[in-house]
Amino acid sequence: MQLQQITILGATGSIGMNTLDVIARHPQRFQVYALTADRQWERLFEQCRQFNPRYAVLVDVTAAEQLQAKLKQFGLSTEVLQGSAALEQVARAPEVSIVMAAIVGAAGLKPSLAAAQAGKRVLLANKEALVMAGRIFMQVVQEHGATLLPIDSEHNAVFQALPRDGNGDLRAMGVRRILLTASGGPFRTTPLAALAQVTPDQACAHPNWVMGRKISVDSATMMNKGLEVIEAHWLFNASADQIQVVIHPQSVVHSMVEYVDGSVLAQLGNPDMRTPIAYALGFPERIDSGVAALDLFQIARLDFEVPDTQRFPCIALAYMALRAGGTAPAVLNAANEVAVAAFLEQKLPFQSIAAVIEHTLAAISIGAVDTLEQVVAADTQARHVAREQITRSQALC
């Protein structure tokens, strides 16, 4: 069996580390070509020691210099590259067949797109690539013969529950709805009045999943699910009306597909990202992920609830952006990134995250998305408007 060369964009995050865990279980199938990070050079160094990639990429200049010195000290041969352009370089390298796109936020768009343009198998964990530039991204995938496999547990579950020979037409496949499950995060039952005092540490304490701080806050506001609705639209050619969010506190049913004959196909498993990662790495085969078998007797019950849009206004904002189309999803995403960063820095109350996003959507004229430059321009403008709104909010406090 020929080794498949893999680039991991965002190797030091939770998805990247879980990917390396799965890869380590299959040394006869996979070899790491490149590992990338923003500035976490210490963790990247330990990964280089274990997997000996050809390249290590750090966006931050100082971090790259520190990693280079450490690798030289230990006599390791990994070559260090620096800067955003290097991310695209290792994503499109001819030797690479698989790219794990796991850089969080808008920063992951261009290297993910570069992998698709090079016709790679793209394991997409960066949902913002589709939220911001879904039409452009999907067009590139089709034109360059790339294979796009979703890594988000929900979209991976939907992918597994859909017919393999489908042509992208849900109605022709007999699909009535896609049901995206959501845990409800740490504040599903918290009294609404108490949300005003929520701290970043509380928002990052997810009851079921271990994730980075930004995506943990997104889960707490349920903007994460809103972004996933937009992602599902592009992945599965589904209209807003064909996508239903379902609160499922146990995080065992990862999503479902409802068919016109009344059947509902669900994918179940323990809440562990190694399952969808292993599925995408081995596809169409199934390979060992290291995840424990699901014990239904221990779980005993599965609960489902309708989302409370008063508690989670970000869901409604995401549906609004999806229906508006054009640059609206990019504006939504940019405003959310700015607002979440301000909350994590304790410059913005938790409940004001949605308010900043709503203000930004209302303040910016929505345009068409025909080029990547239009997406970037909308992103930049939205960040400016969101930051101004946060500054005004602070002045009033």
Shared-domain flag, residues 159 and 127:
no
The answer on 135 and 162 residing in a single domain is: no
One domain, residues 83 and 10: yes
Q: Are residues 298 and 338 in the same domain?
A: no
pLDDT digits (tens, 9 = 90+) for 229-266: 999 999 999 999 999 999 999 999 999 999 999 999 99
pLDDT of residue 105: 80
| In-domain check, residue 34 | yes
Residue 278 and residue 156 share a domain: yes
Asked if the structure places residue 317 within a domain, the reply is no
Question: For 4-57, what is each residue's pLDDT tens digit?
Answer: 999 999 999 999 999 999 999 999 999 999 999 999 999 999 999 999 999 999
Task: Give dist(CA 200, CA 21) in Å, integer.
Answer: 28
Residue-wise pLDDT for 310-345, tens only, equals: 899 999 999 999 999 999 999 999 999 999 999 999
pLDDT at 210 over 80: no
The residue segments making up the domain with residue 187 are 152-311
Question: pLDDT digits over 297-309, tens only?
Answer: 999 999 999 999 8
Residues 135 and 197 in one domain: no
What are 188's two structure tokens?
Answer: 């599903």
Judged against a pLDDT cut of 90, whether residue 152 lies above it is answered with yes
Kindly tell me the burial class for residue 395, based on how many C-beta atoms sit within 10 Å of its own C-beta (0-12, 13-18, 19 or more). Answer: exposed
Residue 320 within any structural domain of the chain: no
Mark whether 135 and 165 lie in a shared domain: no
- Whether residue 356 is contained in a domain is answered as yes
CATH of residue 363: 1.10.1740.10
Residue at 333 is within a domain: yes
Pinpoint the alpha helices (H) of 144-289: 153-161, 200-203, 213-221, 223-236, 274-282
pLDDT-based confidence at 362, cuts 50/70/90? Answer: very high
- Residue 107's φ and ψ, nearest 5 degrees, are -60, -20
| In-domain check, residue 318 | no
As a whole number, mean pLDDT of residues 211-228 equals 90
Taking residues 67-92, report their average pLDDT. 96
pLDDT digits (tens, 9 = 90+) for 265-297: 999 999 999 999 999 999 999 999 999 999 999
43 and 146 housed in the same domain = yes
Q: How far apart are CA 219 and CA 216, in angstroms?
A: 5
Shared-domain flag, residues 119 and 196: no
Spatial CB neighbours of 295, under 8 Å, sequence gap ≥ 6? none
Domain end position, chosen among 286, 311, 336: 311
**Residue 156, pLDDT above cutoff 70:** yes
Q: Report residue 128's pLDDT band, with 50, 70 and 90 as the boundaries.
A: confident
In this structure, the answer to whether residues 114 and 202 fall within a common structural domain is no
Residue 352 sits in the same domain as residue 283: no
Q: Are residues 101 and 126 in the same domain?
A: yes
Of 100, 134, 150, the residue that ends a domain is: 150
